[in-house]
Amino acid sequence: MSDLQNADAVAFTVPGDAPGTLPAGDPGVIVKLPDGTFVAYDAVCTHEGCTVGWDAADSILFCPCHGAAFDPANNAAVIAGPTRRPLAALPIVVDAASGIIYLKA
């Protein structure tokens, strides 16, 4: 959580030993929403597999390859094409006592 004190989003890699059906090895992104909650998504664009990044100016996840944009506050819904599928959500647990955010099985 400390990495998100001065940023709205932090990129990470889903660990190779990720639980369950999580996309091990994929890039991921954790976003701190305006209400203070956190969400995480697989950062692989659902159009052609490019890695999306955080656009702080517009508070969106943006694919630099073909211009797809996703709303992290609305389940990564598509707000600009060419894709029609949202990013895959990654289940997380926020442990406020320790300040750690981790992937949930």
Distance of CA 22 to the CA centre of its chain: 13
CA end-to-end span of the chain, whole Å?
Answer: 20
Regions of the chain where pLDDT drops below 70: 1-2, 6
**What total number of domains does the chain contain?**
1
For residue range 48-60, what is the model confidence (pLDDT) as tens digits? 889 999 999 999 9
pLDDT of 96: 87
Pairwise CA distance, residues 45 & 85, whole Å:
9
We report the CATH number of the domain holding residue 70 as 2.102.10.10
Whole domain around residue 11: which residue ranges?
2-103
Q: In Å, what is the CA distance from 45 to each residue of 60, 69, 81, 100?
A: 13, 9, 11, 26
pLDDT of 12: 93
